[in-house]
Amino acid sequence: MAAHAGGLRNTAKNTAKNTAKDTAEDTAGGRATVRIEGLVRSFGERRVLDGLDLSIATGEFVALLGRSGSGKSTLLRALARLDHDVAGSGVLTAPDHVSVVFQDARLLPWKRLLDNVVLGLDGPSAEQHGKDALAEVGLAGRERAWPVELSGGEQQRVSLVRSLVREPRLLLADEPFGALDALTRIRMHALLRRLCERHRPAVLLVTHDVDEAIALADRVVVLDRGRIAADLPVDLPAPRRHGSTAYAALRGRLLGHLGVELGETAP
Ligand SMILES: Nc1ncnc2c1ncn2[C@@H]1O[C@H](COP(=O)(O)OP(=O)(O)OP(=O)(O)O)[C@@H](O)[C@H]1O
């Protein structure tokens, strides 16, 4: 996806019929934060999103899996309204107040941590709010550090909290942990869950990692050639253990939808 900091405001006009509201009635009559119907996005002759339908309820955490090139980032860009020059149609209802996090933290290197976090925040309490937010991710006392002084995992913590301090209605995350080592990634999973429980945004997390999707999400959807090929609730008791039969069954179904035979993977 294109370079962009967190805490976006959706302002761009789109070729598709986009309506910016904070909530919409979903198909079941409940409150939905995102409602997408028949979304089409094309690059030249190629239909990358091909009549896609998806709803995300208020506060719901949805993980999006799909093979490379299936259209995951294109969908995120559409939701963030970053796809200005892309041909398309369909109905897309998403909140005005969206934040985006990417695989790289994209902190401004010439600004100290606190300034990165509060950038664009107004009001007399912004600085205190930013300090509290850094403390929330274990970085109290590092407010005046430069981004270059932080590890990759620490930078990504700042990036997450910079997004959430704006209290977005929708958090879009494009493989935010893809560049981190396995141990840091597990710690980040716990942190993201904690932050989401506190701030309660709806989340759409793009990931290539089936276990990450199961660990974090309320629901996992699989994108295939621009359409939703599977939409499965993660109905597992906490903590979600790799070893359980239900976990293995869900993992197997998801891998199947991704075209991976179970024999091809480590258990
Ligand atoms: N700006 C663009 N111009 C032309 N084609 C594009 C553009 N952006 C994306 N595409 C094409 O659309 C298809 C879907 O891309 P997208 O980045 O959405 O896939 P993805 O599922 O996120 O893939 P990956 O998992 O590899 O990141 C790809 O074939 C890509 O080449």
Q: In the chain, what percentage of residues exceed pLDDT 70?
A: 87
Ligand 1 pocket test: which of 50, 72, 212 has the largest number of ligand atoms within 8 Å of its C-beta? Answer: 72
User: Could you tell me if residue 142 is inside a domain?
Assistant: no
Task: Give residue 239 CA to ligand 1 midpoint distance, Å.
Answer: 35
Ligand 1 pocket test: which of 39, 41, 65, 70 has the largest number of ligand atoms within 8 Å of its C-beta? Answer: 70
Task: Give residue 92 CA to ligand 1 midpoint distance, Å.
Answer: 19
Q: How confident is the model at residue 2 (pLDDT cuts 50, 70, 90)?
A: very low
- What was the pLDDT predicted at 120? 83
User: Could you tell me if residue 136 is inside a domain?
Assistant: no
Task: Quote the ipTM score.
Answer: 0.97
pLDDT in tens, 68-85: 999 999 999 999 998 888
Task: Give residue 187 CA to ligand 1 midpoint distance, Å.
Answer: 30
Range in 4-8, 110-114, 227-231 the model is least confident about:
4-8
Alpha carbon distance 210, 262 (integer Å): 13
Q: How confident is the model at residue 28 (pLDDT cuts 50, 70, 90)?
A: very low
User: Could you tell me if residue 151 is inside a domain?
Assistant: no
Alpha carbon distance 171, 193 (integer Å): 13
Q: What average pLDDT does range 168-194 have in this prediction?
A: 89
Q: How confident is the model at residue 121 (pLDDT cuts 50, 70, 90)?
A: confident
Structural domains of the chain, count: 1
Domain harbouring 196, CATH code:
3.40.50.300
Asked if residue 18 has pLDDT above 60, the reply is no
Asked if residue 4 has pLDDT above 80, the reply is no
Q: Do 163 and 100 touch, CB atoms closer than 8 A?
A: yes
- What was the pLDDT predicted at 7? 34
Asked if residue 21 has pLDDT above 90, the reply is no
- What was the pLDDT predicted at 252? 94
**Nearest Cα residue to atom 10 of ligand 1:** 43
User: Could you tell me if residue 46 is inside a domain?
Assistant: yes
User: Could you tell me if residue 47 is inside a domain?
Assistant: yes
Q: What average pLDDT does range 127-137 have in this prediction?
A: 91
Asked if residue 238 has pLDDT above 80, the reply is no
Range of the domain at 228: 17-105+169-262
User: Could you tell me if residue 43 is inside a domain?
Assistant: yes
Q: In what order do the strands lie in the sheet with 170-174?
A: 98-101, 170-174, 202-206, 61-66, 219-224, 227-233
User: Could you tell me if residue 153 is inside a domain?
Assistant: no
- What was the pLDDT predicted at 12? 33
Asked if residue 13 has pLDDT above 50, the reply is no
Asked if residue 159 has pLDDT above 90, the reply is yes
- What was the pLDDT predicted at 84? 84
Pocket of ligand 1 (CB under 6 A): 43, 48, 66, 68-74
Q: Do 170 and 204 touch, CB atoms closer than 8 A?
A: yes
User: Could you tell me if residue 114 is inside a domain?
Assistant: no
- What was the pLDDT predicted at 182? 86
Which range, 30-39, 167-176, 239-248, has the best average confidence (pLDDT)? 167-176
Q: What average pLDDT does range 147-156 have in this prediction?
A: 94
- What was the pLDDT predicted at 240? 79
